[in-house]
A and B are shown apart, each in its own frame.
Chain A
């Protein structure tokens, strides 16, 4: 995850708290998405950025996950996201992000 973005997320969590702020991911791959989810919850596992060793406890969801998808207006999802369900490995991405979220957040 970009280092500048790590700082922005940190500042936003200070401002809004980790119960009111949700992170939504658009990663192309399971591994990168999982890494982003872990960084915003349990800290940067690569120890590269401002979130190294910092546990924000934020919940991150991928846009493909039902918890997010079901909240979105169907015609909006259809127009902006649906095509990518035929392109990316949806199941793998969802599995990875969900498992990270369940591991590191309450």
Chain B
């Protein structure tokens, strides 16, 4: 059997260990295969943000294992985690998180700069991914010269340019109006269609309902994990997994 892209086993994150300890994540077990479109849903305080930090290798668990693309990343050092984030994960944040004094294309090139990709290749990849999100005419604009929707598309282009196996979107539509939200969700769906693994973290049921698979987190535990039957009929479901 092929190894899952993401395999989380007994993952715990405990803040303030001792008397006032907070169990943000409490023995989470989850597998996500290559090519899935998963929504992780939970209210604020449910631990979904902590879980997203773990999945994104921004933070290390207190205990448990996390295999990403076959390697155990739960015990890695800072610099190794940076390397993993750079190669394996494309982030899309709620607040876009673009660097304000860089142009769109410079922002998109940034992960490739840290990977050490040469300038020509970098430029080519950045242009490709900006074109993919329909911003080929705005490449030299700075973030503050663009609308929220456009900024988020730049962020998506940035996540795509590095060609990571996992796209991790944390409330990507949280700061956007409904029209832009729809656009962004369409882009995420099309990325899924192209074979990317997309993990969408949200508190919004309506948005979660757009995903193929929905994982609900309550109080640091997985409460439910089901396949969304209403997901686009033409979608070919490769790997179904039960909780």
B is a partner of A: no
